[in-house]
């Protein structure tokens, strides 16, 4: 029987945990070998046998202020994580998302043991700000698995590590594609609407967005709209979401399982969501949406470094304004409520966005699931080493 592959993995975000889960299973299928995991990950990777070194939520921090506040603990975590990974002598290290933490771990691991191949899954947004990060990664990152169509060329132009476009796991998700088909066959009624509210998967996001979301719902009610609210969330923030929603004018239905979430996507008329990966999920499920976000004070001060024209992934992929964004001082209930009203009705605004969401789905489509392409890239790197 073939010797198991030992893979070190470091992931802090819920979306990254899902990417890692799919990747590990694909590596096992393609290699015909069992995978032993060491490192840090959430519930999905833990279901594959990973015993995390610490709570992955500790590194899923929102904003510069949170990073500065927790800097001593993060520095300690980076050092202990890197040393534990180097001591485990894995066949490969895969870091997923959360670049402020995972790239520093990768750099230390490379210094401790240069023989360990290192893969970065999800390209840091060098195309959005601080492009100098791309060449700075070359000494300690061997491959970057890109999930957006334009990232491979960006890395090449910026002289960064070798990038491989593997596609996005969501683009070939049969459940999301099924939800999109149900959306296509739905008839938009005149009565009560279903509005999804998605305040994010990080505690900081939830705390900053639940109040303006509640104020927007109150204004929608005052303007004569009738609707029910469904909040798809994740288990580790579900209690906080329930607590923050107590002051809302409407009692939401809170769901945290994948089946309930997909059912909500298939039945929703529109969504009010935190900016992030969930916008791409909604786009592929063909749910009209608005994007909302609040940065902390320090992050707001450095926004001049950002060079990209939009933070919403559907807009970047379609290369046109598909989703309206409401950020910081523009996250006003009056603005958000009126845009949601336009999306909840049979309007030109709704039709314009749905056409844009179809463009997103077409550009994200891949011949094979992204996890299979990503696993192939990892195994090829191991063969080269």
Question: Tens digits of per-residue pLDDT, 286-301?
Answer: 999 999 998 865 455 4
134 and 178 assigned to the same domain: no
Instruction: Supply the pLDDT for residue 67.
Output: 52
Q: What CATH number did the domain enclosing 196 receive?
A: 3.40.50.2000
350 and 271 assigned to the same domain: yes
143 and 250 assigned to the same domain: no
Instruction: Supply the pLDDT for residue 68.
Output: 55
294 and 326 assigned to the same domain: yes
The domain of 319 spans: 172-364
As a whole-number percent, the residues of the chain with pLDDT over 90 amount to 77
161 and 19 assigned to the same domain: yes
pTM of the entire predicted model: 0.78
> Which residues does 93 contact at the CB level (< 8 Å), separation at least 6?
7, 8, 9, 10, 39, 85, 106, 109, 116, 117, 118, 119
Residue 383 has pLDDT above 50, yes or no: yes
130 and 212 assigned to the same domain: no
272 and 295 assigned to the same domain: yes
Residue 342 has pLDDT above 80, yes or no: yes
159 and 243 assigned to the same domain: no
Query: How confident is the model over 233-271, as pLDDT tens digits?
Result: 999 899 999 999 999 999 999 999 889 999 999 999 999
Q: What is the DSSP string of 139-169?
A: TT-SEEEE-STTHHHHHHHTT-S-EEE---G
Q: What is the DSSP letter of 230?
A: E
236 and 334 assigned to the same domain: yes
Nearest to 204 by CA among 281, 99, 297, 123: 297
Give the confidence band of 196 by pLDDT, cuts at 50, 70, 90: very high
Give the confidence band of 181 by pLDDT, cuts at 50, 70, 90: very high
Strand spans (E) along 84-192 = 92-96, 118-121, 143-146, 163-165
Overall domain count for the chain: 2
Give the confidence band of 231 by pLDDT, cuts at 50, 70, 90: very high
* Cβ-based neighbour number of residue 166 at 10 Å: 27
133 and 214 assigned to the same domain: no
Find the mean pLDDT for residues 97-125. Answer: 94
Instruction: Supply the pLDDT for residue 303.
Output: 53
120 and 161 assigned to the same domain: yes
334 and 249 assigned to the same domain: yes
Instruction: Supply the pLDDT for residue 64.
Output: 45
């Amino acid at each position: 029987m073939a010797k198991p592959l030992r893979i070190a993995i470091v992931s802090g975000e819920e979306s990254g945990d899902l990417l890692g889960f799919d990747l590990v299973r694909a590596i096992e299928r393609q290699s015909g070998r069992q995978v032993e995991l060491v490192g840090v990950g959430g519930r999905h990777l833990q279901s594959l046998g990973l015993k995390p070194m610490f709570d992955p939520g500790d590194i899923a921090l929102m904003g510069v202020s949170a990073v500065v506040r927790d800097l001593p603990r993060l520095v300690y975590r980076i050092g202990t994580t890197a040393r534990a990974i180097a001591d485990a002598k894995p066949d490969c290290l895969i870091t997923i998302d959360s670049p402020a933490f995972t790239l520093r771990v990768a750099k230390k691991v490379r210094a401790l043991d240069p023989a360990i191949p290192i893969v970065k899954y999800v390209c840091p947004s060098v195309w959005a700000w601080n492009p100098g990060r791309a060449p700075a990664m070359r000494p300690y990152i061997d491959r970057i698995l890109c999930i957006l169509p334009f990232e491979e060329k960006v890395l090449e132009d910026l002289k960064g590590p070798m990038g491989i476009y593997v596609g996005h796991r969501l683009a070939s998700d049969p459940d999301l594609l099924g939800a999109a088909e149900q959306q296509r066959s739905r008839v938009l009624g005149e009565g009560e609407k279903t509005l999804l509210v998605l305040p994010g998967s990080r505690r900081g996001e939830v705390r900053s967005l639940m109040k303006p979301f509640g104020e927007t719902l109150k204004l929608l009610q005052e303007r004569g709209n009738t609707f029910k609210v469904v909040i798809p969330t994740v288990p580790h923030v579900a209690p906080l979401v329930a607590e923050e929603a107590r002051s809302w004018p409407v009692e939401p239905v809170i769901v945290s399982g994948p089946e309930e979430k997909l059912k909500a996507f298939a039945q929703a008329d529109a969504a009010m969501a935190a900016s992030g990966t969930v916008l791409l999920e909604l786009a592929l499920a063909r749910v009209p949406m608005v994007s909302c976000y609040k940065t902390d004070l320090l992050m707001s001060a450095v926004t001049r470094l950002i060079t990209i024209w939009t933070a919403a992934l559907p807009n970047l992929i379609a290369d046109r304004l598909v989703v309206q964004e409401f950020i910081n001082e523009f996250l006003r209930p009056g603005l958000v409520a009126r845009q949601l009203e336009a999306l909840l009705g049979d309007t030109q605004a709704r039709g314009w966005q749905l056409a844009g969401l179809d463009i997103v789905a077409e550009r994200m489509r891949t011949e094979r699931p992204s996890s299979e392409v990503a696993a192939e890239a990892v195994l090829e790197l191991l063969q080269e080493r």
